Structure 1
Amino acid sequence: MTASPTSAPLGGDALRVLVTGASGFVGKAVVGELLRRGHTVLAGSREGQALPGAAGIKLDVTRQDSVQAAVNEVQPGAVVHLVGIIAERGEQTFGRVHVEGTRNVLAALPAGARYLHMSALGADPASQSRYSSTKGQAEQLVRASGAAYTIFQPSLIFGPGDDFFGRVLKNLVSQAPVVPQIGDGHFPFRPVSIEDVAAAFAGALARPETVGQTYALTGPVEYTFRELLNLELAALGKRKPVVPVPLPLMNLAVPLMQLLPNPPITKDQYAMLLAGNTADPEAARRAFDLPMLNLEERLPHLLKR
């Protein structure tokens, strides 16, 4: 059962906000935007790293005692749960981080606290991607928790230090004389800026009507995978032929890539690329008055950083 909006400290008042995963790419941007809007922010991470304007606190979401100790110490009026991984390493599995980590945070959530949850576009417990399926399982826990929650489902996020455009796609178009294109390249994507994502999270704290809602976070323009490859090439000032790789061949190659110490693409990333990643941006744009920054305009600057 979803908690009543009146059970949480909503509206325009400044809050004491605990952010999990604060030292990550999205975390730093969200912390910065929360501070800009006048909130007191506690930056939670496994290292307890402080950020400009935000005190650091050690918090490991995979350990219930660690989460509870952090919450007891800071007594937040809101919790922004951002922790997530894009590849499994050792004990850091999708199930342990996405599902059990969310369960631990929800169990420690103070009564009446506002809760903002970072999911992903395509989150679905039935997904063939372990990343997407565990994100979907975490959403189920949130909706059943009784918390005053808002769930966000971002598409590919671009911005300074992002992983997909700044590493995965950059490596794909840079490392060989030709650019391999997965299948026919028609898979659709609607990348969203880190500024739009941060504005949505921070904006939700001042909007009680967003309690109990789930928002897709996507950008203003939809691209095919082939178009993203061409944009990346142009932004890097490269001219190379783009060569389609038939899906049966990719289906054989991707598992073999996992034998490499740092595979250019993981099996989960491959499954998500095949599924595409797009949704209508209007609901979130209207709810949070988002700037809707454009990938094509920002990409050359981002790749030169």
Structure 2
Amino acid sequence: MSSAAAKQSFRTLITGASGFTGRYLVEKLAARGHTVVEAVSGRDEPDTPTRVKLDITSPQACRRVLETVRPDYIVHLAAISFVGHDDPLDFYRVNVIGTQNLLEACAAIGHVPRKLLIASSANVYGNVSSAAIDESFPLTPVNHYAASKAAMEALVRTWFDRLPILIVRPFNYTGRGQAVNFLVPKIVSHFARRAASIELGNIDIARDFSDVRYVASAYEALLDSDVAAEIVNVCTGTPYSLREILTSASELTGHDIEVQVNPAFVRQTDVKMLAGSPAKLRALVPAVESIPFIDTLRWMLAA
């Protein structure tokens, strides 16, 4: 990056900034000299120059925030992402209509940012038996979360000729600060407090787990790239089963834990093996290096 480019201060709006991924990306972009404006939902404090309240389901709110901020970059992370969320309609209100509201707000105020990075999910691929799912695979979502992301992608693609948009499909990722209703933090918390046993579902399901710091680095590099009107997997290409994670955590802590399989945790629609092909990501942003999963686990356990 040239020194002139390095000195330029970009205004970057991040929706869902207070979420798990948002916190890491805010830190990373701020360190690169971006003036980050965090858009967060459900808070009572007054807006500040770097933190605004945004109800993504309100077209008026989206227009107001974009009119005020006029960001150079937009990173749209706000979503309902917990698959077990109890109201199916919320997935569509927030993940589909909310995203559409954001794009329509850009059009309504005549604002074209340098880049919009929109987070989808590898869940859109559904129950595919493949060790390397690439971006050309068909979308076969098996739950409301995945279906809402697939619908969102379909809508966003219709904007490719009007706005410089990049859709990212992250596979599973984890790290410090992720809620314990997600699998890896749940396992880590049990080992950290040296629990005698843990209740899990199917421990033979395998996932391509990335480190949240790698995901944030990939987003930052893609934002900085010249790429638009594309869909990119964000993954490592290396799957780990829960069984392997349990073994690694046991080796790192010197603690053994009894695994109790709770049938209530075994979802019929559970994808058995989900691993992505990072080939396109690596071609677009070759400088971004993934973090070995054992290092992620060690980092989480040390917290």
Same fold (TM > 0.5): yes
Q: Does residue 216 of the first structure (1) align with residue 233 of the second (2)? A: yes
Q: Give me the CA root mean square deviation.
A: 3.2
2:278 is equivalent to residue 281 of structure 1 = yes
Equivalent AA in structure 2 for residue 301 of structure 1: W
SS in 1 for 2:122: coil
> In the alignment, which of 40, 43, 54 is matched to residue 38 of structure 2?
43
Q: TM-score, normalised by structure 1?
A: 0.77
Corresponding residue for residue 196 of structure 1? 214
Shift of 1:237: 3.9
Deviation of residue 29 (structure 1)?
1.0
Take 2:72 and 2:199, find their aligned partners in 1: how far apart are those partners?
Answer: 48
CA distance in 2 between partners of 1:159 and 1:172 (Å): 15
| Residues in 2 aligned to 1:127 and 1:151: alpha-carbon distance in whole angstroms | 17
Task: Report the AA paired with residue 152 of structure 2.
Answer: A
- For residue 34 of structure 1, the aligned residue among 24, 29, 38 is 29
Structural mapping, 1:56-135, within 5 Å:
56-85=51-80, 86=82, 87-88=84-85, 93-109=90-106, 110-113=110-113, 114-124=115-125, 126-135=140-149
Aligned-pair distance for 1:70?
A: 0.5
Q: Is the 8 A contact 1:187 1:224 kept in 2?
A: yes
Task: Return closer, same or farther for 1:101/1:175 CA change in 2, 3 Å cut-off.
Answer: farther
Q: SS state of the match for residue 274, structure 1?
A: coil
Q: 1:236 to 1:105 in 2, by over 3 A?
A: farther
Structure 2 CA distance for aligned equivalents of residues 175 and 64 of structure 1:
48
TM-score, normalised via structure 2 length: 0.77
Aligned residues: 272
Q: Is the 8 A contact 1:220 1:292 kept in 2?
A: no
Alignment gaps of 5+ in structure 2:
126-138
- Partners of 1:67 and 1:136 lie apart in 2 by 22
- Alpha-carbon distance change, 281 to 54 in structure 1, aligned in 2, over 3 angstroms: farther
- Structure 1 distance, partners of 2:17, 2:44, is 9
Helix, strand or coil: the match of 1:211?
A: coil
Q: Distance in 1 between matches of 2:188 and 2:212?
A: 18
Moved more, 103-112 or 142-151: 103-112
Alignment of 1:225 onto 2:242: yes
Distance 2:152 2:272 in 1: 20
SS, match of residue 275 in structure 2: coil
